[in-house]
A and B are shown apart, each in its own frame.
Chain A
Amino acid sequence: MSAQALKRAGASPAAEGCFFKMEKINKYYQMGGERAHILRDVDLSLEAGEYLSVLGPSGSGKSTLMNIIGCLDVATSGRYTLNGRQIEDMSEVELARLRSREIGFIFQNSQLLPRLTAQKNVELPLIYAGVAPGKRRERARQMLERVGLSDRMGHYPNQLSGGQQQRVAIARALVGNPTLLLADEPTGALDQKTGRQVMALFEELNAEGRTVIMITHDMHIAAFARRVVHIIDGELTEGGDTNDA
């Protein structure tokens, strides 16, 4: 468990030993008169500092699971506790604050704002958290240095390669010092070599004690994680040893 995560978990008595826990999560969607059952009794718990892959084909419900893990969406039923906080019944504003504090998102297409420089893109989450400009810039610089882009801070996204863009996105995910890094197909838009570089970066971050959840359909990518769970038709099964995946 990272010192950071321990400190956070310790801040709330109820959170003791309960870093990430999903119990009997169900999600239904109304789809043209039919009620689709997307997630079925999903149970998942994580220790701080774990590195988990959620592996599943498209349509398996993995995006929905990611949205719920990322607090972008709430489950229809079940309990989800993140860093000692109960997600259900939170308001939109509370969820937004939670996202800004606890979760660092990394999307498939890095999702950088084209009109902002790399540094400004990294600062973005801190802007919404109301961090003062000086502090913000300092943090963004540190994070860009961490991902090896200290010489690209003033560049705009279209002046960066795909791998560099994804690294900016990772710096952005790290800048708020989140409890959880949540990556959705982080190498989906990259070639193999750059993909491996990004995976190497994830391993480093995990080795530093950061908790990482990676959602992917690619078993080779999933295999980089230390633990893999499979999701098929909304049901989650433990994948055991990553080497079998």
Chain B
Amino acid sequence: MLDGIRGAWIMLGECVRMSLSNIMGNRVRSFLTVLGILIGVAAVIALITTVNGFSGSLSSSFSAMGAGTLTVSVTGSDLKSGLSRQDLEALSALDIVDGVTPNVSLNARVSRGGSYESGISVSGRNAYYFRQNPAIVKRGRAINHTDEDNTTAVCLISADMVETFFYGEDPIGESLYIAGIPFAVVGLLDGEGGTAIADMLSGSPDILIPYTTALKLNSANAVTSFTVYLASGVDSSDATDVLEGELDAMFSFEEDCYSIMNMSSIEDTMEQMLGMVSALLAGIASIALVVGGIGIMNMMLTTVTERTAEIGLKKALGAIPWQIQAQFLIESFLLSVIGGALGILLGLALSLVLSRVMGTGFVISTGAIALGAGFSAAVGIVFGWAPARKASRLNPIDALRAA
């Protein structure tokens, strides 16, 4: 028994050696045969690695942007169209809340001298917003509490606006007409704009003004969109519950008056979607693996036919059927695994290039590599089975006669 196992082991070792010499002896043919597997595995690896890298950088930018914030959009009820300044202050006073920044948006006609432009996006913010995002003010000053209280006509403008209306001039201290009202330019916005979620979803506004002023321009007295900055260490879903309680009370428990966007739940949803997309793409790519497997099967069937005489000889010399089957199975397995290994290298190289081009992270996914390796090994065995079996069943007499 032990001798039998030892003998089988010796035979298998020899099979590996002979298979490698057959594969290397037909280098071009072998390469063409494994091309399908190579491309399939490379595609799967590249897709999974790239999507992983993308979702990694997405979630890191998400958390940079939206960690600890909740965004509320108010549709309002018949009695109450939005939140008043008192409501916002009440929310700010909550333990879980660090501060609240309203977002009062409007599109306005902006003019200076003879030039004008319509449909400029103007957004009203409060002093707290600028405290939270100091980086957005490139030059000049931010909006402060006095501006809020007095609904002053001051504005901060983007680089685009500077180019449009103040080409070659220093805009600070100059005035700009927004919806026909003269505003004093007090500061310049950084090109990258703000980091509020509202900005991410609707694009950075070109002009920021005090939100009280913006409400006046809108002939409104209530805020319908705002971002809540949570106190540090507060869980966003717990905070959502508290906030819902407060808002329900404010809207007299009427239903569907507002919706709260939780950044982390958006992130979860996006990651889920990305995961689904990547699974789908990997599924499509794995079709290439099946096609590659068929290529290997075809090749192995050809090999068996070509080597009929060899099989007959080996059988005459005492090879038993499973030894012949093992030899061909090992050969197709090795072919496929070599293809898979090359595919993994190519896939990683591709995703490295893609990650550089797209500016996303490059993380080698061991899962994807294991998947590629496992898949190609399985393909080699599954598609090598039938040809190997065919070889093992050849009648030695017929096989010898083929010589």
Residues in chain A within 8 A of chain B (CB atoms)? 67, 70, 72-73, 92-93, 96-97, 99-101, 105, 107, 109, 111, 113, 115-116, 124-125, 127-133, 172, 176
Contacts and interface: CB of A to CB of B under 8 A. Distances in A.
B403 interface: yes
B187 interface: no
Given A72-B397, A73-B397, A113-B310, A97 B320 contact: yes
Contacts of B319: 96, 100, 128
Contacts of B10: 127, 130-133
B317 A99 contact: yes
Contacts of B237: none
The 4 closest A-B pairs by CB, nearest first: A130-B7, A100-B318, A96-B320, A125-B317
29 contacts: A67-B397, A72-B315, A72-B397, A72-B400, A73-B397, A92-B320, A93-B320, A96-B319, A96-B320, A96-B321, A99-B317, A101-B318, A105-B316, A107-B400, A109-B403, A111-B309, A115-B21, A115-B22, A115-B25, A124-B314, A128-B318, A128-B319, A128-B323, A129-B7, A130-B3, A130-B7, A130-B8, A132-B10, A133-B10
Nearest to A175: B317
Contacts of B4: 130
B8 A176 contact: no
Contacts of B321: 92-93, 96
A100 B359 CA distance: 64
Contacts of A92: 320-321
B178 to A, nearest CB: 85
Nearest to A94: B320
Interface of B: 3-4, 6-8, 10-11, 14, 18, 21-22, 25, 309-310, 313-321, 323, 396-397, 400, 403
A132 B6 CA distance: 8
A200 B315 CA distance: 28
Contacts of B8: 130
A111 B323 CA distance: 19
Nearest to B318: A100
Given A100-B318, A128-B314, A111 B11 contact: no
A99 B3 CA distance: 19
A70 to B, nearest CB: 7
A242 to B, nearest CB: 28
A180 B25 CA distance: 35
Contacts of B315: 72, 96
A82 to B, nearest CB: 14
B7 to A, nearest CB: 2
A100 B317 contact: yes
A111 B311 CA distance: 11
Contacts of A113: 310, 313
A124 B315 CA distance: 11
Contacts of B7: 129-131
Nearest to B21: A115
Contact of B317 (A116, A124, A131): A124
A176 B403 contact: no
Contacts of A130: 3-4, 6-8, 10-11
A172 B317 CA distance: 9
Contacts of A67: 397
A111 B315 CA distance: 12
A109 B400 CA distance: 11
A69 to B, nearest CB: 12
A119 to B, nearest CB: 13
A70 B316 CA distance: 8
